[in-house]
Amino acid sequence: MDMNSPLETYEIKETIGKGGGGTVMLAFHKRLQKKVIIKQIHDFVNINDRRTEVDILKNLKHSYLPQVYDYFVIDGISYTVMEYIEGVSLQKLLNEGRKFKESQVIKYGKQLCEAVEYLHSQRIPVIHGDIKPDNIMLTPEDNICLIDFNISGISEGKSAYTTGCSRGYSAPEQMEAFFRISNAVKSGNAGLKSSADLSEETEVYTSEETEVYSSEETQVFDEAGAMAKPVSKEEDILKIPIDKQTDVYSIGATLYHLYTGIRLDKADNKVLKANTSEGYLYILNKALSINPKDRFASAGEMLKALNNIYKKEKKYKMMIASQAIVRIVLFLFMIVGIGLCSYGYQRMKLEKSDLYDDYIVQLEGYAAGDSYEEFQETYDLAVSLFPDREEAYYQRARFLFVSKKYEEDIDYIEQIHSSGSILISSETNSRLYYIEGNSFYALDLYEEAADSFEKAIQHDSNDGNIYTDYAISLAKIERTSDAKNALASAEEHGAEKSFIYLAKGEIEYAEGNYSDAENSLKQSIEYSQDDYKKMRAYSTCAKAMMKDNTIENIDKTISFLDEGILTVGLEYRSYLINILADACGTGYSISGDSAYAEKAIDNYKALIDTGWANISTYNNVIILCSYLENTELALSFMEQMQKDYSENYITVKRMAFLELEIQNQKDEKDRDYSKFVEYYNDTKSKYEEQSKGKTDPEVQLLDQDYQKLIDGNWIEGE
């Protein structure tokens, strides 16, 4: 082997897989001293032509995907080096006869959809093209890891291509294209089916009494001959078009195999077990539709369906359909209630109670991002049945919190406590105060948060986790001695490890022990199963890492937050993206390197595009655009800021600065500061109304700029 070859970095241990897509080898990275997986891809490629795609692969970071360490080309053959994943493939488990419950398959399906949606959402989408149990590892933590994605599935312009397919998992259009193209390249190949034959192999599934279970080995269909070895010319490659919906089909086929124990193309009687839920049945049918247009539009849409699977249940549909009838029945019940016999009255009470319980189950199923109007309608129906029962009130408080409606949540909880008509148990009171405390905390109102957590403890003094949040809030207001006492109580009452380390880290941070804080917070992240707590640990840890504002620490923090964004749930990523953008902005202010500013702008833009932005987001991104002298981009953000925050003085202040910059860039003879004067006066007026006695240094700078224009005779003073 050439001593300068990139392969010299690795010690090849064994070949662990071979197929039409490539050869997979287990290797040992000599410098990093760790196992890795090397895939030799059967695809002729020029690395210089695909540098962008290579960079995308190397920057992929997701909990359910292996890290790509390296990509290189030797003699026209490309190699991908990936993280070695501990665990066992789902295919091996199927071969061993493992049976998976519906709940397990749904869990793995959600993780799979999340990973695939992440691949698809890259700036240049990565289409996997070969999703199947053999390419999914099950880790010791009972989570999946989708492996064997490579550069052959990266989009080229508006299209993406792969070089093969897997019978029983690949979408019909992918199989059809494979046969059509391979026949064109290699005429007279026996044994290939027509597209018509393929179409008949997939049909709509129904839930009947028949159970289908077997343990048959999945065989990847590889085209013989040309596809079994690397090709030497780009024109010899079978380039099969694939897209997001081919991956959706493969996800469906994989979930079918896991649930039934039999590969899709080998299932003669395509029926599912009698107790299969209607929601799961619907999702499989939609994902496995022959026509791509009838499938889920994306893995993200399929993930949403899996998260809301209960909404497809017959019981749920009947409940929704009967809501209007329920209102009439309740009305009639009130009218004729006096005349009902005791038996009828008791029967109606039981029916009301059952219906109320159904509503509560439905309310519990709502998550962040779900329709607020739908939730409110169900909540109103529940309260109309039993205004004096507490469950619906708690569910609304929880939903407002996860929907980030913190101020509304605080007002709502205070209304509950001030109402004399609702009897709240001590346990539920504790839970309500705990939610209120977290809402105050999210608004940076730490003293109020501490008061709420203290009230939660008064109602339930045995929940150790509440003590940890109490300790953190006390640390935020520099009552570190009290915080340590609260932490001791948390440990005494059996608080979770991740909560303990989070509180320790916050106390150490408050005392200025930033290195200790960093270590404790990283321990919290390692133990945490709670995305909200994990996000908080990442946030404070990043601040601790940046306390010594060296460019080395900034780079370390940026890398740390990049990792964190991929490990917390979607609903909490906005917090970390905002901190990451701020860190990049700090990197720019320290180094002057525009790459930091551009990364900051990209992250602020991500917040804006996903609806997570606030007025500070717009303010910061426009300032950065101004520093880079990108007036056009600054104006585009300014336009959106004016739509969302037109009455806030910060908006007109920013517009005043931007207008001043625009005029200063012109030749002196072309300058016109009349708009600046208009924005300046508007800023001063709104500032007086909104500042509440607080001083804004930027307004003082604006005053100075205004005076300079007067002194230079550009404008007339008042």
Catalytic site positions: 130
Q: What are phi and psi of 264, to 5 degrees?
A: -55, -45
Residues 6+ apart with CB under 8 A from 502: 468, 472, 520, 521, 524, 528, 533, 536, 537
Q: What are phi and psi of 282, to 5 degrees?
A: -60, -45
**What is the Cα 339 distance to its own chain's centre?**
56
Quote helix, strand, coil % in the chain, to nearest 5.
60, 10, 30
Structure tokens at 626: 């101004």
Q: Where are the alpha helices (DSSP H) in 647-696?
A: 649-664, 674-690
Residues 6+ apart with CB under 8 A from 714: 671, 673
Q: Where are the alpha helices (DSSP H) in 568-614?
A: 573-591, 594-609
Q: What are phi and psi of 197, to 5 degrees?
A: -60, -40
Q: Where are the alpha helices (DSSP H) in 121-277?
A: 172-185, 195-200, 244-260
Pairing between β-strand 22-29 and β-strand 10-18 as defined by DSSP bridges:
antiparallel
Structure tokens at 431: 């839970």
Structure tokens at 226: 């040309």
- The owner of tokens 């016999």 is 341
Please tell me the distance from the alpha carbon of residue 163 to that of residue 168, in angstroms, as a whole number. Answer: 17
Q: Is 163 exposed, middle or buried (0-12, 13-18, 19+ CB in 10 A)?
A: buried
Please tell me the distance from the alpha carbon of residue 236 to that of residue 155, in angstroms, as a whole number. Answer: 19
Please tell me the distance from the alpha carbon of residue 74 to that of residue 88, in angstroms, as a whole number. Answer: 30
Of 278, 53, 4, nearest in space to 151 by CA: 53
Pairing between β-strand 271-272 and β-strand 206-207 as defined by DSSP bridges:
parallel
Q: What are phi and psi of 66, to 5 degrees?
A: -75, 150
**DSSP assignment letter at 220:** -
Q: What are phi and psi of 289, to 5 degrees?
A: -65, 140
DSSP 602-613: HHHHHHHHTT--
Could you tell me the CA-to-CA distances from 364 to 348, 430, 452, 620 in Å, in that order? 24, 18, 23, 37
What separation, in Å, do the N-terminal and C-terminal C-alpha atoms of the chain show?
Answer: 82
Q: Is 487 exposed, middle or buried (0-12, 13-18, 19+ CB in 10 A)?
A: buried
Check: CB of residue 389 under 8 Å from CB of residue 421.
no
Q: Which residues pair with 35 in a beta bridge?
A: 28
Three-class SS of 63-95: CCCCCEEEEEEECCEEEEEEECCCCEEHHHHHH
Check: CB of residue 43 under 8 Å from CB of residue 152.
yes
Please tell me the distance from the alpha carbon of residue 80 to that of residue 615, in angstroms, as a whole number. Answer: 43
Residue count (the chain): 718
Check: CB of residue 511 under 8 Å from CB of residue 480.
yes
**What is the Cα 543 distance to its own chain's centre?**
22
Please tell me the distance from the alpha carbon of residue 514 to that of residue 540, in angstroms, as a whole number. Answer: 10
Structure tokens at 75: 């003699």
